[in-house]
Structure 1
């Protein structure tokens, strides 16, 4: 097998590709031959040592794979061998040609769903499904604003909110990213200049919901653009800056700020996370959700791919193909 190894936290171009003996499954485990692994902005932060989770070194990055079961351990139904599956690996290790996963933590994957699409959708779409089913229900007709709408999380937010019947205004930094958000289902897209006024103008007076994976200077402007009883969802800080949201602007007009940490929830309850992932993949197979096709890079270019995320130069997602 081949896998990417991070020996020290730092620049992503220090990642190594190593060869090792193929893994064997233990009791209750399966071996998955990886067809695609999802790469993400968070992966880049972890490799650089800038995330709240710091795995024990050395480690293999990545938390999402899609592929086919090629080995089963004791106690696992042998009929699963040969089946296509997707899996979340919250303990990392996805950037590899083969991975070992608990059998109860793999989700079935239709032969009709592209592995690269599945692998890159797992984290971003699971985050949004968790948000809308556990933290922040969205109803048809609501005006939803998505910040960072050209990235993986942002495009998933546009698609999920649009599927719930919301009217979506996308906010993104470049024309390419704004066009991608409109393709994903946003009614319109704007940049970050004069953001409060742009949101109010684009939502007929104010947003019902803001979905924010960006943070930084945009956060307060978006908060101020909420309608009375509006909800503000904090998903992350890809800008690199954690905003200090003014509490008086939350109090005024009865606004709500909601934290959405799917990763913490998934690590605490991997079976629930797997069930959510299975539901996601079934919706993709039925055509209810539409994850965009990712850019594809070979496994040996993992460092370069994460470097592009770190530079915020990625529109959509990147899949690593072993």
Structure 2
């Protein structure tokens, strides 16, 4: 039998053998590619993206977001500092920053990012910007725009005015995109609570401030505790918070289809590293106890004279988080209602 098989195989033409070899390599390409990705700490290409011919795009996005961990991944589960840093993970993945320590990969790159993207040049700028994010800097604006979009007359008037603008600015174009997204309820944007978009970026700025020496270590951890507390007041899970952050960023970007597709791939890769099978957030319980904040950030902002308090009408319609933050601000603002919380 053995001789018969060998005689049969010897009669197969070389071109056929070559074709069979190519076919075998093609069949093994996916599994081998996945093994290489895993060995390099990346996530294999999802089957839907492979079928859609998006393997190259996924490889690029995946490679740009590989987590950098100081020490072992296993130790993060019991590390209280890793839990406090968790809201900063999305940004850390984009900048090769270690996810579980306060330090950043490049202090100079961080300084440039703060200057160019945020206009932050010093400690006063930094603490004020973090405070404004905690107060809902962008999220309140998006919620207000969503409410205005419920008024057909307002929408018609604004879109007509924008259409008449000859030299449209980037802000004009972005406003048009945002209005249409609300009108069409794209991605369920009508029901999104946008706070995570502000709070997770506040965590990033907190880390950046420590890296540049504008926040002490005590202030940084205390502010991260405050941010985690705020997130827990707004959301019930990492999945919910991530979805809110992702959609907040999508609304902020407000770009055309091509750019939107690239951003979606970018965030899908980040989401996979955060919430995938071995995601960073999977080992960090959402409802883990968080140290009680001393609101040291508000002390720093008070020193700049930039604390703000809610009016009586705004206090009445404020969320529980907004009221808590406002009460702490009032104790630090001597001229605001005698420095005491409003009592109703």
Q: TM-score range by the shorter chain?
A: under 0.3
Q: Which is richer in helix?
A: 2
Structure having the higher Rg: 2
What TM-score does the superposition give when structure 2 sets the normalisation length? Answer: 0.26
More strand by share: 1
TM, length-normalised to structure 1:
0.27
